[in-house]
Amino acid sequence: MKTDRQRVTRAGIARVTGLALLWGSGFLWIKLALRGFNPVQIVFARLLLGFLVLTPIALSRGLHFPRQGRLWGHLFVAALVANAVPYLLFSVAEETIGSNVAGVLNATTPLWTLLLAFLVGVDRAVTVKKAAGFTLGFLGVVVIFSPWESASEIASWGGLACLAAAASYGLGYVYMGRFLSGRGIPPLVLSAAQLGAATVLLVPALPFAGLESPVWRLDAVASLLVLGVLGTGAAYVLNYRIIDDEGPTAASVVTYLLPVVAVILGWAILREAVTTAIVVGIALVLAGVTLTRRRSTEIG
């Protein structure tokens, strides 16, 4: 019995590590894909590829897409704020800032989720730990932006776009929690449907920016395929496997690993600078996220 439990734990660790690599490397793949494609093309291809990965898996399990028009309305809203908008903002942002910075600023998503949940009345419980966590996270963002350094690339529209993308993710989590979860619909079906809806939302933007002639560089094409098939499609499947086997607590650990993966890959592959401000800022942000997620009823 002990051996079986150890095996499950090791498998869980392997899955969490794999998911962290898939999602954390997404910022690197975006940066490389920008060498041949514009942001709209990247986001459209990413969403479509993710949808094409998830849909056959859902159908092979005998699952069916929802038919209620009202539910599809909620799915389209969720697709807008949790997929189309943040994906596009991160792609636009990485035209001017490093993939490592984008990954670090993405770690503020739980803080935005907490703030938005409070503002809309979903979670009005304000504890000392939550307040301290939000304050630490805010200080971390200030340190990352380093407004006292006028030459900093982070203190730019690209950096603000990353923060807006993280806030959009937070809004998406709050919206999905209020209107989509708890309806008895399998998460895999919701994700496939949401990616499909987001793909449809990107179609109107294609005539304006998506029809530019891309540069068919091997590294850009390969990065786009990895981002869509693995970083968007397969990552969702792996995330649900972790939640089913290990529970949501284990799945939440990924949040802490993403910026670390993004910074390491940005430095190792793209030679992006790792400044003291980034290191200190990420430490503060992750400390803040840790405090906001810690429950007051923890058992030591």
| Percent of the chain predicted with pLDDT > 90 | 43
Q: What is the pTM of this model?
A: 0.86
Residue with the bigger pLDDT between 60 and 208: it is 60
Q: Which stretch of 99-113, 145-159, 205-219 has the lowest confidence by average pLDDT?
A: 145-159
Q: Give residue 274's pLDDT.
A: 87
Q: What is the pLDDT of residue 58?
A: 93
User: How many C-beta atoms lie closer than 10 Å to residue 29's C-beta?
Assistant: 26
Average predicted confidence (pLDDT) for the chain: 85
Report the distance separating Cα 141 and Cα 122, nearest Å: 25
In sequence order, which residues have a C-beta less than 8 Å from that of residue 114 and are 6 or more positions away? 123, 130, 133, 134, 170, 292
**pLDDT for 299 beyond 70:** no
Predicted confidence (pLDDT) at residue 52 exceeds the cutoff of 70: yes
User: Which pLDDT band holds residue 3 (cuts at 50, 70, 90)?
Assistant: very low
Q: How confident is the model at residue 154 (pLDDT cuts 50, 70, 90)?
A: low
Distance CA 62, CA 171 (A): 31
DSSP codes of every residue in 67-133: --HHHHHHHHHHHIIIIIHHHHHHHHHTTTS-HHHHHHHHTTHHHHHHHHHHHTTS-----HHHHHH
Measure the N-to-C terminal CA separation of the chain; round to a whole number of Å.
Answer: 25
Distance CA 51, CA 49 (A): 5
Give 271-291 pLDDT, tens digit per residue: 998 888 888 988 998 888 888
pLDDT in tens, 97-146: 999 989 988 988 888 888 888 888 766 676 788 788 888 888 888 888 77
**Whole-angstrom distance, CA of residue 177 vs CA of residue 184:** 13
Residue type, position 257, single letter: L
